[in-house]
Amino acid sequence: MTDIAIKATGLSKRYKIGLRKDPYGRLTEALWSSVTRSFRHKSEPRPSDEFWALRDVSFEVTRGSVVGIIGRNGAGKSTLLKILSRITEPTTGRAELHGRVGSLLEVGTGFHPELSGRENVLLSGAILGMKRAEIARKFDEILAFADIGQFIDTPVKRYSSGMQVRLGFAVAAFLEPEILFIDEVLAVGDVAFQEKCLGKMNEVAGRGRTVMFVSHNMGAITTLCPMSIWLDEGKVRAMGKSVEIVPQYVRDAGRDLSLGEVTIDSDERREAEVTRVRILSASGEVMPIGECSDSLTIEMLVNVRRRLPGLYAYLEVRLPDSTTVLMSDSTDTDPNPLDGLSVGRHVVTATIPARSLGPGKYDVYVNLTGIAGHEFNVHSPDVVGSFRLHDSKTLRGDARPGFFSTLMEWRTTEAR
Amino acid sequence: MAVHAGVEHETAESPGGHRGPVVVIGARHGLLELGLAELWSRRELMYFFVWRDLKIRYRQTVFGAAWAVVQPVLLMLIFTATVGRLPNVGPAGVPYPLFAFAGLVPWTLFSASLVGASNSMVNAAGIITKVYFPRLLLPFSAVGSFLIDFVIAMVVLGLLMLYFGVMPSVAIVWLPLFTLVALVTALGVGTWLAAINVRYRDVKYAVPFLVQAWMFASPVIYTSELIPKEWQWLYALNPMTGVLEGFRWALLGGQRPDELIFVSAAASVLVFMSSLVYFRHAEQTFADVI
CA distance A285 to B132: 42
Most confident of A13-27, A122-136, B31-45: A122-136
What local confidence, expressed as pLDDT, does residue A26 receive? 59
ipTM confidence: 0.81
What local confidence, expressed as pLDDT, does residue A37 receive? 54
Put simply, whether B12 touches A (Cβ < 8 Å) is: no
pLDDT greater at residue A24 or residue A339: A339
- Other C-beta atoms closer than 10 Å to the C-beta of A414 total 4
What integer is the mean pLDDT of B127-139?
91
**Residue A213 · residue A69 · CB < 8 Å:** yes
CA distance B229 to B242: 15
**Residue A160 · residue A191 · CB < 8 Å:** no
Q: Please check the confidence at residue B212 and state whether its pLDDT lies above 90.
A: yes
Facing residue for B288 by CB, picked from A7, A88, A112? A88
What integer is the mean pLDDT of B139-154?
92
Q: Please check the confidence at residue A350 and state whether its pLDDT lies above 90.
A: yes
Put simply, whether B165 touches A (Cβ < 8 Å) is: no
Does the beta-carbon distance from A127 to B127 stay under 8 Å?
yes
Interface contacts A/B by beta carbons within 8 Å: 159
pLDDT tier at B6 (50, 70, 90 boundaries)? Answer: very low
> Which is it for strands A261-263 and A272-280: parallel, antiparallel or unpaired?
antiparallel
What is the CB-side half-sphere exposure of residue A383 using CA atoms within 13 A?
15
What integer is the mean pLDDT of B1-7?
37
Chain B residue numbers with beta carbons less than 8 Å from the beta carbon of A27 are 200, 202
Distant-in-sequence, close-in-space partners of A268: CB < 8 Å, separation ≥ 6 = A305
Q: What is the dihedral of CA A320, A324, A326, A329, to 10 degrees?
A: 120
E strands, A17-134, in order: 50-62, 66-70, 92-98, 101-104
What local confidence, expressed as pLDDT, does residue A29 receive? 64
Question: What is the radius of gyration, based on Cα positions, of chain B?
Answer: 23
What integer is the mean pLDDT of B109-138?
93
C-alpha dist (Å) from residue A296 to A99, A136, A388, A391, A404: 43, 49, 10, 13, 14
What local confidence, expressed as pLDDT, does residue A32 receive? 63
Facing residue for B130 by CB, picked from A27, A67, A109? A109
**Residue A298 · residue A315 · CB < 8 Å:** yes
What local confidence, expressed as pLDDT, does residue A44 receive? 46
Q: For all residues of chain A together, what is the average pLDDT?
A: 82
What local confidence, expressed as pLDDT, does residue B62 receive? 73
What integer is the mean pLDDT of B197-221?
92
Residue type present at position A22: D
The minimum CA-CA distance between A255 and chain B, rounded to whole Å, is: 28
What local confidence, expressed as pLDDT, does residue A97 receive? 92
pLDDT greater at residue A326 or residue A108: A326
Residue type present at position A259: L
Q: For all residues of chain B together, what is the average pLDDT?
A: 86
Q: Which site among A17, A56, A60 would you substitute to test the B interface, given the most B Cβ atoms closer than 10 Å to its Cβ?
A: A60
A125-129, A207-211, A359-363, B103-107: least confidently modelled range: A207-211
Does the beta-carbon distance from B9 to A11 stay under 8 Å?
no
Put simply, whether B13 touches A (Cβ < 8 Å) is: yes
Measured in degrees and rounded to the nearest 5, phi and psi for residue A14 equal -110, 135
Helices (H), B3-60: 36-41, 43-57
Residues of B (85-114) whose Cβ lies below 8 Å from A: none
CA distance B235 to B252: 22
Q: Which site among A50, A78, A96 would you substitute to test the B interface, given the most B Cβ atoms closer than 10 Å to its Cβ?
A: A96
pLDDT tier at A41 (50, 70, 90 boundaries)? Answer: very low
Does the beta-carbon distance from B132 to A84 stay under 8 Å?
no
Most confident of A156-160, A200-204, B137-141: B137-141
CA distance B47 to A123: 10
Does the beta-carbon distance from B6 to A58 stay under 8 Å?
yes
Chain B residue numbers with beta carbons less than 8 Å from the beta carbon of A129 are 131, 133
pLDDT tens sequence across A125-173? 999 888 889 888 988 888 888 888 888 899 998 988 778 888 888 888 7
**Residue B224 · residue B245 · CB < 8 Å:** yes
Report which of A114, A126, A198 is spatially closest to residue A156, judged by C-alpha positions: A114
What local confidence, expressed as pLDDT, does residue B17 receive? 44
Put simply, whether B19 touches A (Cβ < 8 Å) is: no
pTM: 0.71
Q: Which site among B3, B38, B199 would you substitute to test the A interface, given the most A Cβ atoms closer than 10 Å to its Cβ?
A: B3
> Which is it for strands A311-318 and A360-370: parallel, antiparallel or unpaired?
antiparallel
Instruction: Identify the helix (H) or strand (E) that includes residue A274.
Output: strand A272-280
CA distance A210 to A84: 13
Facing residue for B289 by CB, picked from A23, A122, A239? A23
pLDDT tier at A195 (50, 70, 90 boundaries)? Answer: low
Put simply, whether A84 touches B (Cβ < 8 Å) is: yes
Chain B residue numbers with beta carbons less than 8 Å from the beta carbon of A67 are 2-3
Q: Please check the confidence at residue A399 and state whether its pLDDT lies above 70.
A: yes
Report which of A212, A111, A112, A210 is spatially closest to residue A170, judged by C-alpha positions: A111
What integer is the mean pLDDT of A310-338?
88
A245-249, A396-400, A411-415, B25-29: least confidently modelled range: B25-29
Helix orientation angle between A161-173 and A191-206, rounded to the nearest 10 degrees: 10
Question: What is the radius of gyration, based on Cα positions, of chain A?
Answer: 26
What integer is the mean pLDDT of A357-369?
88
Q: Please check the confidence at residue A202 and state whether its pLDDT lies above 70.
A: no
Put simply, whether A65 touches B (Cβ < 8 Å) is: yes
Facing residue for B2 by CB, picked from A67, A112, A126? A67
